[in-house]
Structure 1
């Protein structure tokens, strides 16, 4: 039985419990809401990403739960208030999308409104932006169904898997998929606005979370954001399950106590209603999700019937657009030399930009980026242009 510190030397793991079967909780289908599923989950044979044969829960959900109240997203004018956005440039923090925020972006060179104060808003699933900077508000496709796989018995990975931009994280108890941080304005030129619970609609037409929505007001309080989520807030509640099978809780323990001893993925072995097991916790900073996943996910664990967007299996058939991508002529300018580097490395520009992360967030983790791309770190460093002088 290995201790966490043996599995991942250097990680900030303080748990004293080893990773045997007694420390790993199984996802509990009974914890999901009555309206979460399009049909009752079943247990199926599956293969984990490390090649291990396993058993998984196959979960099918609709484009959005029937009783979920979403929005607002983009404000109509500078006099209105929309959703929220985590700005990563100068004056970085979480903001309510309102006139003062958009005017600040304007001063930084990102103009999202006309002279009369009308906000540039576009449904990029059905039309392309005609301006340099637009607020994205995607229309829903009620026909979409999503299929996800959760390992019945979690398996610890040799090393954690890092979560980049729009990486699959898990599924909430309401059946809504959970993804890591949305693309930055600096990468695409546009702002795919989140509502005040931290979610929005994918270009494929289905709703998903970019936050632990049942504890997002803890973040609002810390960041000084004047917003309210329509969902009940409970910092100690189970929010959902990550795609490695581990539970995701709010920012406090199940008894309301302060969380201690978290590892680099925001998880630890601690007390839950399922016993002393490994689980993740939300943070008080946005996005308040795990920073990485410690377990092995099922291969091909996410697909949709959508015609665009993440997991699309019928791409190009339904008239919906893929979102604007870096370098496709509908987004912001790529950093110099990135297209040439992608060609040299034999990867797409999109995958390279996703691996490197937000250019405004500081120097990328080159080791993690190389691993996510499946290439040698030395090759990545040699292909990339040198950073600009600052």
Structure 2
């Protein structure tokens, strides 16, 4: 019994020493040693509008650095998008997207659209034809632009707004990402809410 206790005590001293040693080594690591260069091959090539090149750019701290120039298309290539609006109140959740309200996520199926007046306790919510069950939704780019306006006109009230990726297929965005990132002098704070 004493031999077992002695072995456990020895093992615990060895582990304690090892953990203290690891802790001391970690505290000696500098920020420069944590910098990992970005690899251009890690970007999804399907969404690129042109090949990635390297350009010298001025960073926010005034220094210059080699940066990847990445020009992307406006539609993702690694996953499918949509659907957003179901066609009929008989459609299941696979025919629609999601609805966010009060921190909760709701499936936009036909039943959800049918019961929006109850959901919001407001009889003005009527996004479907009572006779056919067809959901009223935008069908063109122009209708999308007009109905997605926060100050929507009367002609687009009670529409399910469906703006398709094809409406923005010709938009491109350019990003510059340093090949070797630099630690900022002061941290940037990002808001977690609007």
Normalised by the length of structure 1, the TM-score is 0.33
Aligned-partner Cα distance in 2 for 1:113–1:65: 29
Q: Report the CA distance shift for 1:85/1:24 in structure 2 as closer, same or farther (over 3 A).
A: farther
Match of 2:3 in 1: none
Match of 1:70 in 2: 81
Match of 1:95 in 2: 106
* 1:137 paired to 2:162: yes
Match of 1:113 in 2: 127
Q: Higher Cα Rg: structure 1 or 2? A: 2
Q: CA RMSD in A?
A: 3.1
User: How many residues get paired?
Assistant: 149
Cα deviation for residue 57 of structure 1 reads 0.9
Match of 1:85 in 2: 98
* 1:31 paired to 2:22: no
Aligned-partner Cα distance in 2 for 1:136–1:19: 51
Give secondary structure in 2 for the equivalent of 1:26. coil
**Is the CA contact (8 Å cut-off) linking 2:74 and 2:173 kept in structure 1?**
yes
Match of 1:159 in 2: 187
Q: Which has the higher helix share?
A: 2
Residue from 173, 181, 191 that aligns with 1:146: 173
Higher relative contact order (CA 8 A, sep 6+): 2
Q: Which runs of 4+ in 1 moved over 6 A?
A: none
Cα deviation for residue 54 of structure 1 reads 2.9
CA-to-aligned-CA distance 1:210-229 (integer Å, 9 cap, x gap): xxxxxxxxxxxxxxxxxxxx
* 1:46 paired to 2:62: no
Q: Which has the higher strand share?
A: 1
Q: Report the CA distance shift for 1:36/1:159 in structure 2 as closer, same or farther (over 3 A).
A: same
Cα deviation for residue 30 of structure 1 reads 1.1
Cα deviation for residue 75 of structure 1 reads 0.9
Aligned-partner Cα distance in 1 for 2:30–2:107: 41
Cα deviation for residue 124 of structure 1 reads 7.5
Structure 2: give runs of 5+ residues left out of the alignment. 1-25, 148-154
* 1:21 paired to 2:32: yes
